[in-house]
Each structure stands twice: as C-alpha cells, then as structure tokens.
Structure 1
Amino acid sequence: MSALPFDIAAASVLGREHARAGRNNQDALCVRASEHGLVAVVADGCGSQACSELGAQLGVRGLVRAALARLAAGESVDAPDFLPALRQDVLLLLARLREDLGREAVKDFLFTVVGAVMTPASTLVFSAGDGVWALNGEVRSLGPFPGNAPPYLAYALVGGDDVPLIQQALLPTEDVHALLLGTDGVVDLEQLATTRMPEREECVGPLSRLWTEDRYFANPDALRRRLALLNRESVRADFATQCVVRTPGLLPDDTTLVVLRRRMGRA
C-alpha cells in the first residue's frame, strides 16, 4: 500500500429528489493506493439516463486502475501527456464495453469526473465536467454549465465533442495538507453551512469541518452517517394544528466526496 501520510474519509448519499423519484444514487467514488501512489476519483452520472450509475461506477474504477498502472510503469503525473493518456485509457475501456453492450449503452456512460493522483513527489488534481474540489481550505466549484449540461468524456464515443481531462492543480505533495474531491451535490452541502440539521439544534457548518474534525478519519463510517443524517426526512406531530409535519432532507442531489488529510506530525 501507499506510504503517503494521508488519512482518508469517503462517502456518498442518495439525493432527496432521486429518492422521491425512486432512482438509484448515480454518483460513484473509488480510492485505491499502491506502493507507487494514491488515486481518488468521484463521478456523477448523467441524470437523464436510466442507468447512468453504471457509467459512473465503470468510470471511477477505470480511471483509478489506469492511473495506478501508469504510475507502476514509471510515468510522472507532471508529464504533459499523462492526462491525455489517462483519458484515452478510459475511452478504450468504454469502447470495448460498447461493443459488448451495444451502441445505445453509450448513453449510460455519460459521467463527470473530479479526481486526484498523488505520488510522494507530486499531486495532480483533474476534472471533466462539474463538481467541487478544495485544496488546503480553498474551495473551488466547477460549473455550472449552460442548460445544466456539463461536458462528458464519453461524447467522443458517439462523434461528439472531444472532452479533455483538465488539470486543476499540480503541486508538490509536501504542500498538500487537505484535499477534498466532490460531485456537484457538494455545492448544495457548502451552501447549507448556516442551516439547522434535521431534528437537531446545531447547524450543518462549513465544509472545513470535513477535514478539520478528527471523527471523520477515526471512524470509517462517520462521514457516511453525517451525510445520511443531513438527508433524513424529519417527521413530527404539530399538536396545535393536529397535523403531521414532514421536513425533507437537505441535499436535493446525490452527494459524494473524498477527503484526504495529512496525518499529524508527518511530512
């Protein structure tokens, strides 16, 4: 496993509106490490497709596996052809699947990407489409795009736009103290900072809590439980009006994130 001195918290929650419509969580995440480095990717499947969670799951796994293979082959993340080659790896995977599943399956391969490749020397943050990433406390949103239609890598498989993997940051890993990768649902989470949590007096709080509070790294399920709590429907009896009052969950869209934090006392 990677000797990189980072603790990891990762979780995903089904969005309120997808739950109401009886749809699956169309986000995906994958985090893997080797002796060569660590790769983390989140993806959001195109909401208008029936099985877009399939493309998102295939996408994150394909990107992570391909990136680790390139690191094992001695490639450097700061090489100018690293991201173009990584993109081509994923497109070849999807093209092979299209041959087995049929051309129409490409519609389910539409997904956005936010990811990072970390080695002992360098950290690369990249994206295709919308989402959120935060580095050392500075939060950056990607999108929104016109018509709520972000660019998708798989457009290239149907003769559409040539969508690249875009470098968002490249810096020495020793300068990385906290890194968050999120789908666009994290935009809603960030805007809830002063909103009261369901059935509690406390507010949701800023995104920074996710990399400053130890509990999310001490318990591997703590982040998932936090997101689930935020999206739990609150039901209470209003005796004055003799009605049942339902308060919906706070996150309308599927919300997925990976948080990496440098271990204390480690360079």
Structure 2
Amino acid sequence: MSALPFDIAAASVQGREHARAGRNNQDALCIRASEHGLVAVVADGCGSQPCSELGAQLGVRRLVQAAQQRLAEGERVDAASFLPGLREDLLCLLGELRGELGRDVLADFLFTVVGVVVTPSKTLIFSAGDGVWALNGEVHPLGPFPGNAPPYVAYALMRGDEVPLATQALVPTEDVHALLLGTDGVADLARLASARVPDKDEPVGPLSQLWTEDRYFANPDALRRRLALLNRESVRADFDARRVVRTPGLLPDDTTVVVLRRRIVGRA
C-alpha cells in the first residue's frame, strides 16, 4: 500500500449494544498512501445521533484527502499551520454540506478523530475527542470526558466552539516501529486481556498482539475476523437446567482499529 516500510492491518466491528438497539456501526476509517506519505484516520460518530456514521465516513475521507493534498503541495507535518489547516479543510466541507442540506444535518457531523500522517522523515499523531493511540507498545487512552461528551470539531459550526485537531505525538519516522489508532471501543478491548473468547478455551490476550502477531498482517481479513469472533454471541444448551444459555459478545461499543508495523527485511 505504501512505499514507506510499514505493514498495515485495519478493521471495524459493530458494537454489541449498537446491534442490540438496531443501530449501524457509527465508526469509520480511511487509509491512503502516496509517494508523499501515508495517512490514516479513524472516527467515532456521536452515539446519540441516528445517522452519525454519515459524518464519520465523510470526515475520515476528507481528512485523509486533505492531508495528502497538503503533503503533495510540500507542506510539512511539523509546520505550525498543518493541523489548523487540516481542521479548516474539514470544516469547509461540513459547512458546504450544511449550506446545501440545512442546519438539521449538523448533528450527524459530530464525530471524534484519531489520525496519523507518516512521511519519510516525520510522523504526526493527532486527535479530537476520545479514542486510543499507541506508539511502540506504549498505549495512550484519550478520555473519557465528563458526561461521556467528548469535544467534536463540528461544534465550531453548531455553537462556535474552537475544538482543535491536537498533536499527540510528533516523532522521527525512523523511530516508529509499531503504531495503533483506535476509536474508544479499543479501550474496552484493552481491558479484556484475561477474558475468555466466546466458545473457545483461550484468553482474549493483550492489545499488543495486534502489532506483534504476524497473522494480522499476513491476511488482510484476519483482524476483522478476530474482532467479529470476540463480539459473537455464544449460545449453548444447559441440559441439566433444561435451558439455553446466551453469553453476549465482549465489545459493547463499535470498535475500529488501524495498526502499522515496521516491515522487517526478510520477514514474509
């Protein structure tokens, strides 16, 4: 996917509670690579809005496209103008959509963001709202926020709040060995290390498996299948009690993750 020396795994799964309530997966992800660098963004639409997956999907695509365009124009990720400009690119799109569709659509544009821009020299990790990021094995949760109400970039259009795209890390790319971006559902996943996989006699395992185990990079569908397995409802018959026992999936919230791992020469 990229000329940069990284393998990539990415997946998204609908949360247990969203499935129970008949709601869509309101997370989104987008990854694009070019000769200028690699950009990846995950987003989590506001759960109280019926169609926030629309804003999340549009948002990640706009941020990735705008970041790639800025890189192509020679802008540096360590420039003070990079993230404010990226934010304005996003708000410009949302503002145009509001003008075409009316103010009623603004509530569907509420979504959190966790993203990365990787160039040959620098790697920039940024966010707005809650989620999770990890760099070289060190995990950093974002939030939770009071009242489970994270700040959203689109508040600038709704009520004039200046919610920035905030820098979480800016490091030399040569120092990046493993990197993870996740929506807040990944925080739930991180707490499940000792839980048992539904219908299997094995632990879920630590979050670090996502960047240490080759299987997630060897098969492009392996990560999605793992998340789906963890969120599968277990149904078994208790013959002694003459009843069916149902055990819910392990991930209550939509869970979306992107993992980058430095490619080792000679590794298949």
Q: CA deviation at 1:2?
A: 3.3
1:30 has 2:30 as partner: yes
SS at match of 1:123: strand
Contact 1:113 1:130 in 2 (8 A): yes
Tell me the matched-pair count. 266
Q: CA deviation at 1:227?
A: 0.2
1:231 has 2:231 as partner: yes
Q: After alignment, is 175-184 or 156-165 more displaced? A: 156-165
Which residue does 1:80 correspond to in 2? 80
* Structure 1 CA distance for aligned equivalents of residues 15 and 235 of structure 2: 18
Residues 132-143 of structure 1 mapped to structure 2, 5 A cutoff? 132-143=132-143
Unaligned runs of 5+ in 1: none
- Per-residue CA deviation, residues 225-263 of structure 1 (Å, 9 max, x unaligned), is 000000000000000100000000000000000000000
Q: Which amino acid aligns with 1:241?
A: A
* Structure 1 CA distance for aligned equivalents of residues 99 and 47 of structure 2: 23
* Structure 1 CA distance for aligned equivalents of residues 119 and 2 of structure 2: 9
Q: CA deviation at 1:182?
A: 0.1
* Structure 2 CA distance for aligned equivalents of residues 158 and 217 of structure 1: 41
Paired-residue identity, %: 79
SS at match of 1:62: helix
Which residue does 1:109 correspond to in 2? 109
Instruction: State TM-score, norm by structure 1.
Output: 0.99
Contact 1:42 1:183 in 2 (8 A): yes
Which residue does 1:195 correspond to in 2? 195
Q: Which amino acid aligns with 1:194?
A: S
Contact 1:11 1:224 in 2 (8 A): yes
Contact 1:124 1:170 in 2 (8 A): yes
Which residue does 1:173 correspond to in 2? 173
Q: CA deviation at 1:176?
A: 0.1
Q: Which amino acid aligns with 2:23?
A: R
Residues 35-114 of structure 1 mapped to structure 2, 5 A cutoff? 35-114=35-114
Q: CA deviation at 1:101?
A: 1.3
Which residue does 1:2 correspond to in 2? 2
Instruction: State TM-score, norm by structure 2.
Output: 0.98
* Structure 2 CA distance for aligned equivalents of residues 101 and 195 of structure 1: 46
Q: CA deviation at 1:100?
A: 1.3
SS at match of 1:19: helix
1:118 has 2:115 as partner: no
Contact 1:182 1:255 in 2 (8 A): yes
Contact 1:2 1:36 in 2 (8 A): no
- Per-residue CA deviation, residues 158-187 of structure 1 (Å, 9 max, x unaligned), is 233110000000000000000000000000
Which residue does 1:12 correspond to in 2? 12
* Structure 1 CA distance for aligned equivalents of residues 26 and 16 of structure 2: 12
SS at match of 2:167: strand
* Structure 1 CA distance for aligned equivalents of residues 135 and 265 of structure 2: 19
Structure 1 runs of 4+ off > 6 angstroms?
none
Which residue does 1:244 correspond to in 2? 244
- Per-residue CA deviation, residues 9-41 of structure 1 (Å, 9 max, x unaligned), is 000000000000000000000000011000000
Q: Which amino acid aligns with 1:203?
A: P
Q: CA deviation at 1:99?
A: 1.1
SS at match of 1:40: strand
1:217 has 2:217 as partner: yes
1:259 has 2:248 as partner: no
- Per-residue CA deviation, residues 128-182 of structure 1 (Å, 9 max, x unaligned), is 0000000000000000000000000000012331100000000000000000000
